[in-house]
Amino acid sequence: MEEERKKILNENLRGLLFKFSYPMIIALVFGALYNMVDTIFVGKGVGPVAIAALTIVLPIQIIMWAIGFMVGSGAGSIISRSLGAGQKNQAVKTAANAILINIAISLAVMVPIYVFLDRLLVFFGASPDVFPYAKGYASIVLAGFVLYSFDAASRIIIRAEGKPRAAMYPTIVGAVLNMILDPIFVFVFKMGVRGAAIATVISQAVAVIFILIYFMSSRSIFHFKLESFKPDFKVIFETLKIGFPSFLMATIDSFIILLFNRAIMKYGNDTYIAITGTGIRIIDLTLMPMIGITQGFSTIAGFNYGAKLYARVKKILWETVLWNTLLSTIVFLVLMILPGQLLGFFSSDRQFIDMGITPLRIIIAFFPALGFQFAIGSFFQAIGKALPATIITLSRQVLFLIPAILVFPLFWGLQGVWMSWPFSDMMDFIVCGIFIIFEIRIINRLMKKQAQTL
């Protein structure tokens, strides 16, 4: 651990950034491919109405992931600190308790969703044409609720024991298997959206088996015994307390998609729901490299800030902003120039493609600024300044995007729904800019004070 610390505090920052980022990027990209692959094959095999159905179900899938992310984030924090203090037994007990509460919460949420599924899908915006497809997909995907949540939590727990590459392998295995099974179930067995759902659940089950094999192997510290699973309510409470903000943010994302879908149904139609779902999946995939770089940056910035190496902190911050902005600008240009071709990957329906070009271009209008926003939000988390980090995280969705989705359509109809995205991006960019200007001034003063004491 001391050797790793010395590297982070002394090695070339650009090299460190890519060393820490690439496992994250690979895992995130393959994770994003799960839903994207389903969408591509049902779009080609069934049509835009099936893409609309998957978009309606998306908020439920986000909740499935959010539970695992909450438990994994909370447990991962405790595990990392326990291992740092040499308390291996505490780390193992925390992981075992995390598995228990993850299963319990997943089942507690899954059952009522099953019971009220019809009403939920209508509430989420499913029209009579879309409803049968949405129900067919959701009813099967829900069977894998515990698997999906367990996978999300376990990958964070594996990273917490210092094995980022081991954490990415289950994601790659699941995503690749899903790519293989989707065309078989959709086209060969002609099962449509239900086939895509079955392929997803099978792929998720294989990924979970892969994780369980890892836990039982000599490479992991988590060799669980029966007594490890004895509930420790102090550990459970701390896990949920630490992880709840992550759950809250994911839940807000789920609510925003729900709100967005309902606004589109009010001012548009099922085809626009399908366009939205396609746009979300394209954008999610393109964001993954930036998120991966940001996560790698967070570790480096936190170490150097803690060591009071402020010049390195500033350098790695601007290095991350540079690479993120370069990536976001390239993605922006591709989406602006080739929206029809990208939409064509998901459906050959000419009307769907033509109707989707303008909304996609409007949604990504402020995309080049996202790289800066990701870096700044992560920076405040890394240096332990919770208030600006929370404000930056919440401002886009809660302060700007939700009000814009509600208000803009009153003046501009369906165009107003699309315009809410770049508006919220622009406003969050301003918020990030204000906070970082003041923080850089603070860091400059600390550097000046250090220089005076030398």
Residue 162 clears pLDDT 80, i.e. is over it: no
> Two tokens at 210?
């892969």
- pLDDT of the residue at 3: 66
Q: What percent of the chain has pLDDT over 90?
A: 59
Neighbours of 99 (CB within 10 A): 21
Question: Cα(first)–Cα(last) distance of the chain, in Å?
Answer: 29
Residue 125 gets the label, from left (phi > 0), alpha (psi -120 to 50) or beta, of left
Contact 215, 222 (CB under 8 A): yes
CA separation (Å) from 323 to 17, 40, 375?
10, 29, 10
Q: What is the pLDDT of residue 34?
A: 75
In angstroms, the Cα distances linking 247 to 19, 70, 349 are 28, 5, 37
> Which tokens go with 225?
């015994």
> Tens of pLDDT along 235-291?
999 889 888 877 888 889 899 999 999 999 999 999 999 999 999 999 988 998 998
| Confidence (pLDDT) at 1 | 47
Task: Please write the tens of the pLDDT for every residue from 54-96.
Answer: 999 999 999 998 999 889 888 887 887 777 677 888 888 999 9
Model pTM? 0.86
Residue 84 is predicted with a pLDDT of 64
Greater confidence (299 vs 129) lies with 129
Give the mean pLDDT of 401-413. Answer: 95
> What is the per-residue pLDDT for 314?
93
Per the prediction, the chain carries an average pLDDT of 89
Residue 439 pLDDT grade (very low, low, confident, very high; cuts 50, 70, 90): very high
Least confident of 96-100, 237-241, 298-302, 431-435: 298-302
- Does residue 448 register a pLDDT over 70? yes
**Largest distance between two CA atoms of the chain:** 74
Model confidence pLDDT, tens digit, residues 313-370: 899 999 999 999 999 999 999 999 999 999 999 998 999 999 999 999 999 999 999 9
Q: What is the pLDDT of residue 110?
A: 95
Domain ranges of the chain: 1-25+275-454, 46-267
Q: Is 59 within 8 Å of 277 (Cβ atoms)? A: no
**Sign of the CA dihedral with 287 first, then 289, 307, and 437 last:** negative
pLDDT, tens digit, for every residue of 197-217?
999 999 999 999 999 999 888
pLDDT tens-digit profile of 180-197?
Answer: 999 999 999 999 999 999
